[in-house]
Amino acid sequence: MDLKNKSKKELQQKVNELENLIAKKGVGSSYLSKAERIQRDVNLALILGGAATLVGAAAWTLLKSRGE
């Protein structure tokens, strides 16, 4: 059984390496990398925008409560 599991893991590793090679150099790879960069940038913008909104709301609440 150990030989079977070892062979299965090695084959899976080879398949993953081949998939990565195709993703990097295959047809449409430039579009894929461009889409990944855009998705990363959108995610960062959403995180930073959400953090700025929370900080702004907290500051507004603190300033409003001090004014009363």
Mean of the per-residue pLDDT values for the chain?
A: 90
Number of compact structural domains in the chain: 1
Q: Is the pLDDT confidence value at 1 over 80? A: no
Mean pLDDT of the 7-14 span: 93
Higher-confidence position of 68 and 52: 52
Rounded Cα–Cα distance for residues 63 and 67 (Å): 6
Mean pLDDT of the 42-67 span: 94
Looking at residue 66, its pLDDT comes to: 85
Rounded Cα–Cα distance for residues 15 and 19 (Å): 6
Looking at residue 61, its pLDDT comes to: 94
Mean pLDDT of the 17-29 span: 83
Domain encompassing residue 58? 2-67
